[in-house]
Amino acid sequence: MIPFLDLKAQYQSIKPEIDAAVSKILESSQFVLGEEVAAFESDFAAYCGTTHAVAVNSGTSALHLALLAAGVGPGDEVITIPFTFVATVSAICYTGATPVFVDVEQASLTMDPAQLEAAITPRTKAILPVHLYGQMADMDAILTVANRHGIPVVEDACQAHGAEYHGHRAGSLGVSGCFSFYPGKNLGAYGEGGIVVTSNDEHAKKIRMLRDWGQEKRYHHVLKGFNYRMDGMQGAILRVKLRYLEQWTEARRAHARQYNALLRGSRLETPQELAGRRHVYHIYAVRTGQRDQLQRLLQAEGVQTGLHYPIPVHLQEAHRDLGYHRGDFPQSEAAADQVLSLPMFPEMTPSRVEQVAVAARQETSVY
Ligand SMILES: *Cc1c(COP(=O)(O)O)cnc(C)c1O
C-alpha cells in the first residue's frame, strides 16, 4: 500500500533530536509558552522575513486573532474564496463578520484578483486570500486593489510554509500571515499548533495579548482575550523540525517534478507552478473529469489519495445562511468535482512516485 502521508517515517528520520527536545520540556516543566516557544517564534519570523511571530494553538486561532487585530468585527465583511478548507471561513464567522466570496483562477485555484473590486463594499474590513495547496495567490494584483481601497490583506498561509512570490515568503506580503502546524501540514507539530507572522508592531502586540486572555501583565486584562497559547512541547518540536523544512520542501518539489514528467501527455491535468512563484506542494492535485472513478481504481491498486476539497464552502450546509447557490462560483465548483490529491510527502521515494504515476496513467488510459 502507498499511503497518502507517512508521519512516522519523518519522526524516525529525526528521532534522537525530537526525543531530546521533548525530554527538555518534561525536565523544565515549561508546558505552556516558555523559552522554547519564544525561540521558535524568533526562528519562524526570521524564516518568513517578518519582524514578529506569535505562536498559538491552531491555524484557525491564528486566522481569528489576525482578523481581530485588523479591526474586523460584527457588521463587517471579509472577502475570501469558497474553494478552501472550511476553517478560513469559520475564522471570519468567529469575529462576527460576514464572509464574502470571490471565485478562484483556473490555473492556480487561488483568489481571482479580477473579481475582487466588484466584491468590495463600504463594509469590507479585510481581504483573506488563501495560498492553496502551497502556491501563493497573485499578491501584487490583490494588493493593488486592496491598497487602492485602504483595506488590509491577511494571508491564509496555512498550507504554504516557505512558499514564495517574486522572492517574498508567504506571510510577509500582507499585514499578517497565518500558518497551521496541524501534523499533516508541511511543518507539522505533534498535536495542534499555529502562528501569526507580521512586521506590524501594533498587530503583533495585540495578537500576543489576545492569545493569552488579553493580559498586558499577569491578571491585568486589557482586552477580552482567549486561551489560544501554544504548548511548550509543540514549540520545542517545531523548532527542531524547522531546521529541516527547506530540505523537506525541496524533496516535495522534486516529487512534483517527477510526477509532472511522468504524467505529461496523459489525460490528467497536472498542477501549474506560475511564473515568479515557489510552490511548496503541500498538496499535489491532478484534475480529471473521471475523478471518482480514478480514485476508486487507484485505491484498488493500493494507492491512497485525497480530495481537497469535494464541496466548496458556499455549498456547505453549515454556511447555507450566506445565501449562495450552485452556479455562483463555477471555477470552484468545477475544481471540487475534478481534483484528486496524489500521495505527497518528503520521505516518498522516487520509485513510489513512479509507481503512483504509472498506475494513474494506466487507469486514465482505459476510460
Ligand atoms: C489547515 C488549514 C487551516 C486551519 O488550520 P488548523 O491548524 O487545522 O486550525 C486554515 N486554512 C487552511 C487553508 C488550512 O489548510
Q: What pLDDT digit, counting tens, does each position of 268-317 carry? A: 999 999 999 999 999 999 999 999 999 999 999 999 999 999 999 999 99
* Residues constituting the chain: 367
Q: CA-CA distance, 326 to 324, in Å (whole number)?
A: 7
How far is the first Cα of the chain from the last one, in angstroms, to the nearest whole number? Answer: 24
88 lines ligand 1 (CB under 6 A): yes
Q: CA-CA distance, 5 to 153, in Å (whole number)?
A: 32
Atom 5, ligand 1: residue with shortest CA distance: 59
The last residue of a domain, from among 215, 242, 269? 242
CA of 59 relative to ligand 1 center, distance in Å? 5
Q: Is 1 contained in some domain? A: no
59 lines ligand 1 (CB under 6 A): yes
Show the domain range for 136. 7-102+110-242
Q: Which of 57, 65, 67, 85 to mutate to test the pocket of ligand 1 (most atoms within 8 A of CB)?
A: 85
Per-residue confidence band for 366, with pLDDT thresholds at 50, 70 and 90: low
Handedness of CA 51, 108, 347, 159 (dihedral sign): positive
pLDDT at 201 over 80: yes
Q: Is 286 contained in some domain? A: yes
What is the model's pLDDT at position 327?
A: 98
Q: Is 2 contained in some domain? A: no
Atom 6, ligand 1: residue with shortest CA distance: 59
- Could you give the 3-state DSSP secondary structure of residue 126? strand
- Omega within 30 of 0 (cis) for the link into 309: yes
Number of separate domains in the chain: 2
The structure's pTM equals: 0.98
Quick: pLDDT tens for 27-51: 999 999 999 999 999 999 999 999 9
CATH classification of the domain holding 25: 3.40.640.10
More confident residue, 365 or 39: 39
Write out 150-210 in H/E/C secondary structure: CCCEEEECCCCCCCEECCEECCCCCCEEEEECCCCCCCCCCCCCEEEEECCHHHHHHHHHH
Q: Are 203 and 291 part of one and the same domain?
A: no
CA of 10 relative to ligand 1 center, distance in Å? 21
Quick: pLDDT tens for 322-351: 999 999 999 999 999 999 999 999 999 999
Query: Residue 142 is which amino acid?
Result: I
Q: Are 355 and 269 part of one and the same domain?
A: yes
Handedness of CA 170, 172, 174, 179 (dihedral sign): positive
Quick: pLDDT tens for 66-84: 999 999 999 999 999 999 9
What is the model's pLDDT at position 227?
A: 98
* 209 touches 216 (CB < 8 A): yes
> Which atom of ligand 1 is nearest the CA belonging to 194?
7
Q: Are 144 and 53 part of one and the same domain?
A: yes
Q: Which of 182, 280, 307 to mutate to test the pocket of ligand 1 (most atoms within 8 A of CB)?
A: 182
- Could you give the 3-state DSSP secondary structure of residue 196? strand
Cα distances from 56 to residues 90, 225, 226, in angstroms, run 17, 13, 10
60 lines ligand 1 (CB under 6 A): yes
Q: Are 222 and 266 part of one and the same domain?
A: no
Q: Are 349 and 303 part of one and the same domain?
A: yes
What is the model's pLDDT at position 122?
A: 98
pLDDT above 90 as % of the chain: 98
What is the model's pLDDT at position 365?
A: 76
30 lines ligand 1 (CB under 6 A): no
Q: Are 197 and 254 part of one and the same domain?
A: no
What is the model's pLDDT at position 367?
A: 57
Query: Residue 235 is which amino acid?
Result: G
More confident residue, 366 or 168: 168
